[in-house]
Chain A
Amino acid sequence: MKTLLFFLSTLIALPALALDVASLHPLITETIRDVGGERVKVIEIGRAGMNVHQFEPRTGDVRKMAKAKIVIASGKGLESYLKDLKDSLRKDQTIVEVGRTIPSQKVSKKDQIYACCPHHAVGGIDPHWWHNVRHMERAVRIIQKELTKADPAGKAIYAANAKAARARLVQLDRWVKGQVATIPKKKRHLITAHAAFGYFCKAYGFDATFVQGLSADGEISAAQLAKSIEQIRSEAIPTVFPESTANPKTLRQIAKHSGASVGKPLIADGSVKSYQKMIQSNVTNIVAGLRK
């Protein structure tokens, strides 16, 4: 009898996996894990390394999502397939778009020289909200609320985990501001390939120019090229930044003719496992390039 009681008590003590949640974006996966801890099982649909602008779930992915009570997307139009996905899921499954309540920025004409795809067309809502660290803090709260709604018994655990995650992000935001402060004000002009850094530039006080699309053969006109080169020369911008997922051809041309150097690549689309490492790597590379 004692053995039986002991066995039963160990069963009760085991952390209960109370909730299955599907994630459509790698940064969302990490955040669900941070907030949900051992109580939540994450079904990873969008994985690190994927092309976030072109990914679409396949039948196998939809099958995997069958167990999920909530399906969490990055939102702001990034997952253009959400309407179709909604039709393929059950009525008791909820799709959450984290970006929905995060303040939006539009891709502006001032910043944009070349539009590569609908995600980056002028006037469209920029989906790359995660480059403002404070927005990621909001994402933590949004996910905390959704997990609590789906699993009220886990409320205290989600609240404690979310509080710790938010504190880490406040620290990270302070670190970014401290790093940016080391770049002379007139050199805070970020020139990158695709229009992914609008939220970063606004949050941390940079002018922005995005010169090239995502497509490998994204050619820009000679006039546009000349305009970029002239701007870099007149502002004496020391460095332009390629992206880990975009063709650096145009940027190299611009650098060559303007006398700027090509910096270390930035990570734009958050297709990584660690948000903190992505931000630290981007900021370190930007500071090294612009402080010159």
Chain B
Amino acid sequence: MTSSPVLATLLPLVSLALLGWPLAGVIRQEPAQQQATEESLEDSPIRSADLIIRSAHPFTSVKVTIGETSWTFDPEEDLKEILFPYSADQSSVTLHIEVQWPGSTPETALLLELQPEGLENRSHTIWGEIEIAEEVTFDWNSSE
């Protein structure tokens, strides 16, 4: 077999290409979108969160209020996406919770959990029957 110098140069290149080389050399196009960083999340005065409820017995309604804003859960709902004001200085939020159960329900428990972006989960269990209103403050100050 006679070997051509062109082939001798090309072959290693072709095999390299077949193996694929790391990303850095790939032809550039218009870059894809990327989300904001974790740091920008920390500075935000508004936090997005999942507000989740788990109830031992079916409820009639659950209303949660933070400041001026309220969210009402229907009996078949267990999760709401909410936005709430949050300052890193205060590191806390107060929720006013009103729960109603059907009249026939025995004393029961309802767990309310807040899962804010970038912050640990916080939860509170409410015990009661028929109708109850409670206030709870979730705090992220304590060294966990």
Contacts and interface: CB of A to CB of B under 8 A. Distances in A.
A60 B17 CA distance: 9
A90 B35 contact: no
B17 A91 contact: no
Interface in B3-57: 17, 19-24, 26-38, 41, 48, 50, 54
Contact of B26 (A59, A95, A100, A134): A59
Contacts of A163: 78-79
A32 interface: no
A82 B121 CA distance: 28
Contacts of A86: 31-32, 34
Contacts of B31: 86-87, 89, 91
B30 A90 contact: yes
Nearest to B37: A100
Contacts of B35: 95-97, 100
B115 interface: yes
A94 B33 contact: yes
A95 B37 CA distance: 12
A94 to B, nearest CB: 5
B116 to A, nearest CB: 9
B144 interface: yes
A58 B21 contact: yes
B82 to A, nearest CB: 13
Contact of B117 (A97, A101, A170, A202): A101
Contact of A59 (B17, B120, B121): B17
Contacts of A141: 50, 115
Contacts of B106: none
A103 interface: yes
Given A86-B32, A103-B118, A62 B144 contact: no
A82 B24 CA distance: 11
Interface in B82-138: 115, 117-121
A84 B32 contact: no
Contacts of A100: 35-38, 41
B34 A58 contact: no
Interface string A39-78: 0000000000000000011111110000000010000100
A85 interface: yes
A81 B34 CA distance: 13
A284 interface: no
A59 B20 contact: yes
Contacts of B17: 59
B119 to A, nearest CB: 6
A125 B39 CA distance: 12
Given A58-B22, A95-B35, A88 B41 contact: no
Contacts of A61: 20
A144 to B, nearest CB: 10
A138 interface: yes
Given A62-B23, A100-B38, A103-B118, A88 B33 contact: no
23 contacts: A58-B23, A59-B17, A60-B20, A61-B20, A82-B34, A84-B26, A85-B23, A86-B34, A88-B23, A88-B26, A88-B28, A89-B29, A92-B32, A95-B33, A95-B35, A100-B38, A101-B118, A103-B118, A104-B38, A138-B115, A141-B115, A163-B78, A170-B54
- Rank and list the top 8 A-B pairs by shortest CB-CB distance, nearest first: A58-B20, A89-B32, A101-B117, A91-B30, A93-B32, A88-B26, A59-B20, A60-B20
